[in-house]
Amino acid sequence: MAQLFGELLFTGSLQNLSAYKMRGSDKIILRKKGGPTKKQIKHSPRFDLTRRNNNEFGGRAKAAAQIKRILHPLMFLADYNITGPLNALLKPIQKMDTQNEPGKRNILLSQHSRLLEGFTLNRRYLFESIVRTPVSCTIQKEKVIVDLPALLPGLNFMVPGNYSWFQFIAVAGLVSDLYSAHGYKPKGEREYISEYAESEWLPVNTPTAAGKLIVKGLPAQKPATCSIMVAIGIAFGTLRGDHIEPVKYVGGAKVVAME
């Protein structure tokens, strides 16, 4: 992978070259077209390892997409493309399946769920650099309770810019194990979505008392092949007319618990 500099800057295709931008980088990425044909990759014995790797990569991509669906209420805070880092984090989890051969290994998050705790949606401003007192949560039947700390501006609350309002958002949802025999799908047909709770918009320059966010709607009994993911985010907003509008890519969010 190369990067394009100088006066001749473009995106798109030019003969055997492709140029494109990625979110989180202001540089233009340049790559050369070519490589083996789809037919060769699909059928040639030379590409057996490639097929195995591609199959497992596809499984991790489905797992990452599932996690992103759970995190959807917080995705407007993400300041980079989290798909690649999620895929990389899922790779060692997939390798821990020693019951299946490479190319067919399952993604058993329920057995290694805590490895995803601390995963952040931000690189510019981390949640813990904004809210400097830890946030805790309690997972109960049908709900998750997130305990929010009291905030003192300039002490344990650092605003990343000139914004007047902030809001907490808590998200919880079920993430399923994925099985290669099912085409990297969960056992059963149900697709789980996330539930979330949010605080009121609060002024950034006023001390805020400790509080709670309660996320409801979770099942009374967690399936054995699922994990409960809990994430917290802080958003900042500006007043537009008579309402407060969240600012994209400003704030912080991360996974705080998974079990």
Q: Distance (Å, rounded) from C-alpha 106 to C-alpha 19?
A: 35
Q: What pLDDT score was predicted for residue 55?
A: 82
Helices 83-95 and 48-70, interaxial angle, to 10°?
Answer: 120
- Tell me the backbone φ, ψ of residue 60, rounded to 5 degrees: -65, -35
**Closest to 218 (Cα-Cα) out of 164, 156, 137, 155:** 137
Q: What are the boundaries of each domain within the chain?
A: 8-39, 45-258
| Residue pLDDT tens, the chain, 259 long | 555 555 555 566 655 667 666 666 667 676 665 566 666 656 566 766 778 888 889 999 999 999 999 999 999 999 999 999 999 999 999 999 999 999 999 999 999 989 999 999 999 999 999 999 999 999 998 999 999 999 999 999 999 999 999 999 999 999 999 999 888 988 876 667 789 999 999 999 999 999 999 999 998 888 889 999 999 999 999 998 889 999 999 999 999 999 8
Structure tokens at 52: 């195995």
Rg (CA), the chain: 21
Q: What pLDDT score was predicted for residue 183?
A: 87
Length of the chain: 259
Q: What pLDDT score was predicted for residue 188?
A: 73
Q: What pLDDT score was predicted for residue 140?
A: 93
Cβ within 8 Å of residue 258, ≥6 positions away: 109, 113, 114, 116, 117, 175, 227, 228, 229, 230
Q: Distance (Å, rounded) from C-alpha 157 to C-alpha 150?
A: 9
Cβ within 8 Å of residue 217, ≥6 positions away: 142, 143, 195
Q: Distance (Å, rounded) from C-alpha 216 to C-alpha 145?
A: 9
Q: Count H helices, E strands: the chain?
A: 4, 12
Q: What pLDDT score was predicted for residue 248?
A: 95
